Structure 1
Amino acid sequence: MKTYLLEREQLIRRSKEETFEFFGDAFNLEKITPPFLKFRITTPNPIAMKAGVLIDYQLSLFGIPFKWRTLIESWDEGDKFVDTQIKGPYSLWHHTHTFEDLAGGETLMKDIVRYRIPFGVFGRIAHWLFIEKTLDAIFDYRAEATSMLLNGEEKSTPMKVTGMAATAFSGD
């Protein structure tokens, strides 16, 4: 089963503390997720973020509703957190969020997602046909929404670390 890698970086014109606080509030994910996903957090608010917390979501893709459960695997207040999918459409979803102080009170936010798609060769074909493009669109939307909410900008161009938004980095 192939493992894919999606990497993004984004400059946030806010302090690292403010940026981490925004992304550390699970309910802000609803604000930066594209409407076509019909994304909704079903875990009651407030969610005290820390390692070991489980968060449940409901979303829809291509008209198919499904549930997603995330485990906050690690929580390094102000610097980094990692969430992993416990239940959902992927065989693996491991998402590392890091926040780096930059000069002038800005923050470099990085997303590193390692993911696997079930169904063997059919999963690889689905990745090639639409999963990679859909993930790219979701993370593009997220970058724009984040820029509008935190930077006060109308449009943003996300920085892609790799030549493609998602590239295979190992094969099993």
Structure 2
Amino acid sequence: MTRFEVVANIAAPPQRVFDVSLEVEVHTASMSGSAERAVDGVTSGRLRPGDTVTWQATHFGLRWRMTSRISAFDPPRFFVDEQVRGPFKRWHHAHHFDPDGHGGTVMRDVIDFAAPLGPLGIAAERLVLNRYMPRLINLRNEHVKAIAER
């Protein structure tokens, strides 16, 4: 299993960043490079506790689907989305929003994931996913930052 953290400083209050981070349209726009879209569950608007959404995207030339659920929710401090069905053996993404003391937000993403397929999955994590996934989250965070700071 792999764990990584990504931190972004955003010049907007935590509640604003929290709300923007839960918007389906913001997420899909941030992942436009992989043609990600919501295809089932909550497919537009702001996600709420217990909501599920099925995302479809293309990564590494393959179409993937992942259904995730908002499994923890404490506005504007944090929320968690977890895979309930999809390509990973485990996917747990905790989103934290802390005041920076100057009216802005320190947004911290903590991701725990594991690829399927035993030793083959472990090799995929080490060779590809450990670099690919943080880049993907950083890309998403740059988009969230741009929207929240408007």
Q: Which TM-score applies when normalising by structure 2?
A: 0.89
Q: Tell me how far 1:46 sits from its aligned partner.
A: 4.1
Counterparts of 1:141 and 1:115 in 2: how far apart (Å)? Answer: 18
* Partner residue in 1 for 2:57: 59
Question: Is the contact made by 1:39 and 1:57 (CA closer than 8 Å) also made in structure 2?
Answer: yes
Instruction: Please state how far the C-alpha of 1:15 moved relative to its aligned partner.
Output: 0.8
Identity percentage of aligned residues: 21
CA distance in 2, matches of 1:24, 1:34: 17
Inter-CA distance 82–123: structure 2 relative to 1 (3 Å threshold): same
The CA deviation at 1:64 is 0.9
Alignment correspondent of 1:18: 16
Matched ranges for 1:23-62 at <5 A: 23-33=21-31, 35=33, 37-43=34-40, 44-47=42-45, 49-62=47-60
In structure 2, do the counterparts of structure 1 residues 87 and 45 end up closer, same or farther at CA, with 3 Å as the change threshold?
A: closer
1:78 corresponds to 2:76: yes
The letter for the 2-side match of 1:41 is A
Which of the pair has more CA radius of gyration?
1
Residue correspondence of structure 1 range 1-172 to structure 2 within 5 A = 3-33=1-31, 35=33, 37-43=34-40, 44-47=42-45, 49-151=47-149
The 8 Å contact of residues 39 and 58 in structure 1, kept in 2 or not, is answered as yes
Structure 1, unmatched stretches of 5+, are: 153-172
CA contact (8 A) 2:79 2:96 kept: yes
Residues 99-152 of structure 1, C-alpha deviation per residue, up to 9 Å, x if partnerless? 111222100111001111111111111112211121132123223323333346
Q: How many residues align?
A: 149
1:51 is paired with a residue whose SS is coil
* Matches of 2:46 and 2:16, distance apart in 1: 17
Give the CA deviation at 1:47.
4.7
- Specify whether residues 34 and 130 from structure 1 end up closer, same or farther in structure 2 by C-alpha distance, changes over 3 A only: farther
Q: Unaligned stretches of 5+ in structure 2? A: none
In structure 2, do the counterparts of structure 1 residues 46 and 131 end up closer, same or farther at CA, with 3 Å as the change threshold?
Answer: closer
